[in-house]
Chain A
Amino acid sequence: MGLCGPMYIYLPIAEVSVNVFILIGLGGLVGVLSGMFGVGGGFLMTPLLFFIGIPPAVAVATEANQIVASSFSGVLAHVKRRTVDFKMGGVLLIGGLIGAGIGVIIFNYLKGLGQVDLLVKLCYVLFLGIIGSLMFIESLRALGNAKRVGNSKPRHKRTWIHALPFKMRFRVSGLCISAIPPVLVGILVGILAAIMGVGGGFIMVPAMIYLLGMPTKVVVGTSLFQIIFVTAFTTMLHATTNYTVDMVLAVLLLVGGVIGAQFGTMIGAKLKAEQLRILLAIMVLVVCAKLAFDLIVEPSEIFNLSVARGH
């Protein structure tokens, strides 16, 4: 006790006492990644919060609130550098809000079946595994090409995407494509975001690069822009239905997070797009491997407790 030892703070909603510096440190670490890669960092933070003993429901809801802060901080730097495609962000957002609504319905249905933890983890392993591998292979190839030829292959290939109706011009991205693929990407990301308790940037960023063909430069800022609104919507849903947003926890995480995001953006601006992508791919694969490992290896305690509801 006292001021000399580690400083603990009691979280009013989570109802646990945690070390202040651990929370700020976690926030900072995830903030750096958020700024560097344009991912909300939720896919990393949510499991870390479980690990330090925050109840899962509180971790998921509070993390949504924290992502709002770090994404907002990050997007401001991108707005200044004019690397946000607001029009594309708006189209993605329409899909995102629809998707988040659907996601919450699916989540509550799975909760009723009593296997929601497992399904969330399997979702993580599946999506992180697929996206991490694809990005890793692609960026290795791009890195190799850049070295040998000094020139990357043309991005604007004509695919089925260009044959769809409702064409829109996205000037910042230099694209003229149908609004349907971005809305569908938004819906998919929104569903996964709500189920997995994340912002969804780690899915949206590759989808924007590989599916929509957006230039890497504007992908990060646009993704952050969309994430702000989807996570704000999720925060409100959790706050009003489950009362699981812990403001004290969120403030501590975002103190570290917003500062970290600024450093992350600075680091990100200095790295080449291919280097950024390969780093993000490695990180995604590491988290995926850890989650898969935990599912396969016999846990030290095969029993677990949860609050019983009903009666």
Chain B
Amino acid sequence: MRIFCTFFLIALFCFVRSALTQEIVLGLSKNEIGITAFFDGSEILVFGAIKATDELISNEPLGVAVTIASPLLPVMVRRKEKRFGIWVNVDAVEIDLAPNFYAVATTAAFSQVVDPVSDLRHSISMERMIRSVGAPMTVDDPDAFAEALIRIRQDQGLYKALPGAVTLQDNTLFSTSVTLPANLVEGAYTARIFLTQDGNVIAQKKTTIDVRKVGIERWLYNLAHQHPATYGLLSLAIAIFAGWSAAAVFRVIRA
């Protein structure tokens, strides 16, 4: 029993050691993104270095995967079917958690950088990032709904697979840039960097990017939610004023 315990401790120590032998030093071009009135999307540069405190265990080349994810939210996916001659929403599957924006950039093809076991453990690919606890029994092919979610968001430029977008120099310096679209939602975005060797994750690092509305955008959003009656009356006042001034201006023009 004692021998077993000792063996276990040694194994654990080795595991921790090996996990710590590679360390990621990370930098971002910006830690926060302000959504202003003329927000047109944003480009974010993720760069860093791999600090090797030890010699690499094997000579297999290293890989880097960088992911950027918006906060996770539940999404309802509905499928239409033809009923009585028209297309109607029939089946619905709720995806419990899915990011509104997700980008995954890798040094090479995704399957070469991350193996399925690591992907399962760390939820790196889009497919793994989306969590669905269970579809209703009435739906015969629940996977189609998760695929549809990915397909629709890819078409909207919200989900991006970027194989080969990460450059890695001398197994030390890496960098990639990810374009964030204009239709971002607010929240704490998570950037994760995985260092892999032979498909296994040997080091990882995580940081957050704050995406929030600023200036008049922030003010209007807060007013709408905190003082809705004032906001509604203000909207009406603007509408009435705009209507009146247009009429007044045209009266002058025509006179």
A residues neighboring B (CB under 8 Å) = 1, 7-10, 12-13, 15-17, 53, 65-66, 68-74, 76-77, 80, 114-115, 117-118, 232, 235-236, 238-241, 243, 245, 247-248, 250-251, 254-255, 258-259, 261-262, 295-299, 301-308, 311
Pairwise interchain contact A243-B224, C-beta atoms closer than 8 A: yes
Which of chain A's residues have a CB closer than 8 A to the CB of B76? 305-308
Pairwise interchain contact B229-A248, C-beta atoms closer than 8 A: no
Pairwise interchain contact B235-A9, C-beta atoms closer than 8 A: no
Instruction: Give the most central of A72, A248, A261: most B CB within 10 Å.
Output: A72
Which of chain B's residues have a CB closer than 8 A to the CB of A17? 39-41, 181-183
Pairwise interchain contact A250-B238, C-beta atoms closer than 8 A: yes
Pairwise interchain contact B236-A236, C-beta atoms closer than 8 A: yes
Q: Is B250 an interface residue (CB 8 A)?
A: yes
- Give Cα A10–Cα B35 distance, bound, in whole angstroms: 8
Among residues of B, the one whose C-beta sits closest to the C-beta of A62 is: B235
Q: Is B10 an interface residue (CB 8 A)?
A: no
Among residues of A, the one whose C-beta sits closest to the C-beta of B181 is: A17
Which of chain B's residues have a CB closer than 8 A to the CB of A74? 243
Which residue of B38, B88, B243 is within 8 Å of A9 (Cβ)?
A: B38
Q: Is B56 an interface residue (CB 8 A)?
A: no
By DSSP majority rule, is chain A's interface helix, strand, loop, or mixed? helix
**Distance of A272 from chain B, by nearest CB (Å):** 21
Which residue of A12, A66, A259, A296 is within 8 Å of B239 (Cβ)?
A: A66
- Give Cα A274–Cα B43 distance, bound, in whole angstroms: 56
* Given contact pairs A12-B217, A306-B75, A247 touches B183 in the complex (Cβ within 8 A): no
Query: What is the interface residue range for chain B against chain A?
Result: 35 or more
- Give Cα A262–Cα B245 distance, bound, in whole angstroms: 11
- Give Cα A305–Cα B145 distance, bound, in whole angstroms: 10
Instruction: Give the most central of B89, B94, B218: most A CB within 10 Å.
Output: B89
- Give Cα A235–Cα B247 distance, bound, in whole angstroms: 22
* Given contact pairs A76-B244, A77-B247, A250 touches B239 in the complex (Cβ within 8 A): yes
Which residue of A65, A72, A251, A295 is within 8 Å of B244 (Cβ)?
A: A72
Which of chain B's residues have a CB closer than 8 A to the CB of A243? 224-225, 228
Scan B211-235; emit 1 where CB is below 8 A from any A CB, else 0: 0010011101100110011011111
- Give Cα A91–Cα B23 distance, bound, in whole angstroms: 76
Among residues of A, the one whose C-beta sits closest to the C-beta of B243 is: A72
Pairwise interchain contact B92-A254, C-beta atoms closer than 8 A: no
CB neighbors of A among B194-221 (8 A):
213, 216-218, 220-221
Q: Is B12 an interface residue (CB 8 A)?
A: no
Q: Is B109 an interface residue (CB 8 A)?
A: no
Pairwise interchain contact A15-B73, C-beta atoms closer than 8 A: no
Pairwise interchain contact A9-B236, C-beta atoms closer than 8 A: no
* Given contact pairs A69-B242, A306-B78, A307-B75, A117 touches B250 in the complex (Cβ within 8 A): no
- 6 additional contacts, CB 8 Å, given A9-B37, A115-B88, A301-B152? A72-B247, A73-B247, A118-B88, A245-B224, A247-B231, A304-B78
Pairwise interchain contact A305-B75, C-beta atoms closer than 8 A: yes
- Give Cα A10–Cα B74 distance, bound, in whole angstroms: 24
- Give Cα A80–Cα B244 distance, bound, in whole angstroms: 13
Q: Is B14 an interface residue (CB 8 A)?
A: no
Pairwise interchain contact B75-A12, C-beta atoms closer than 8 A: no
- Give Cα A118–Cα B83 distance, bound, in whole angstroms: 12
Can you list 13 A-B pairs with a CB-CB distance of less than 8 A?
A10-B182, A13-B221, A65-B236, A72-B239, A239-B229, A245-B224, A247-B231, A247-B235, A258-B247, A295-B86, A301-B152, A305-B75, A308-B95
